Amino acid sequence: MADESNMGPVAASEAAAETKAPTAKKQRSPRRQKATEQGKDSKATATAAKAKKYSEQERSDKLKLIETEVAQRDSTLKDAIKRAGISEQTYYQWKRAAKPVEQKAATSVPAGDELADLVQLEKENQRLRNLLAEKLRTENAELRKRLGLD
């Protein structure tokens, strides 16, 4: 019976729950309607330009034009790139792609005169190596005699 008469703390928690008013959720504004196909197309063309494809010849011409402008000190690199009508990123990508082609051209098989020069240089290189080896052998033998190792 003591349990039925002791309602003090339980009654207090019920009273606190009743005093709290339920909070209403925030009302969101309705979403915008999607644009029509015609509106989308005009908006897309306004924000992003269509990428232009350049041929290898056009790329090399633009790279040469930019290099000559910078070499003649007519303008800075950034200005020359802008005048060429490309972005800096495109310029550096084209330049990196053009390097291996230039290296391949430089390492191609030499012509007749160049080949003869190359053979002559290889012979001279071999002669100098032999001369150096002989000189080192004589110095080594001389040092061994001085130290008494021989």
CA distance 52 to 2: 90
Q: Is residue 37 a part of any domain in this protein?
A: no
Q: Are residues 118 and 85 in the same domain?
A: no
Q: Are residues 75 and 117 in the same domain?
A: no
Asked whether 70 and 77 are in contact (CB, 8 A), the reply is yes
CA neighbours within 13 Å on the CB side: how many for 32?
Answer: 3
CA distance 56 to 100: 14
Q: Is residue 95 a part of any domain in this protein?
A: yes
Q: Are residues 77 and 120 in the same domain?
A: no
**Domain residues for 127?**
110-150
Q: Is residue 72 a part of any domain in this protein?
A: yes
Q: Is residue 23 a part of any domain in this protein?
A: no
Q: Is residue 142 a part of any domain in this protein?
A: yes
| Lookup: tokens for 76 | 């800075």
Query: 92 vs 21, 55, 62, CA distance in Å?
Result: 65, 16, 12
Each residue's pLDDT tens digit in the chain (150 positions)? 555 555 555 555 555 555 666 677 888 888 888 766 555 555 555 555 677 788 889 999 999 999 998 888 878 899 999 999 999 999 999 999 888 766 666 666 557 788 899 999 999 999 999 999 999 999 999 999 999 987
Query: Would you say the pTM of this structure is higher than 0.75?
Result: no
CA distance 94 to 59: 7
Q: How many domains does the chain have?
A: 2
CA nearest neighbour of 98 among 64, 145, 135: 64
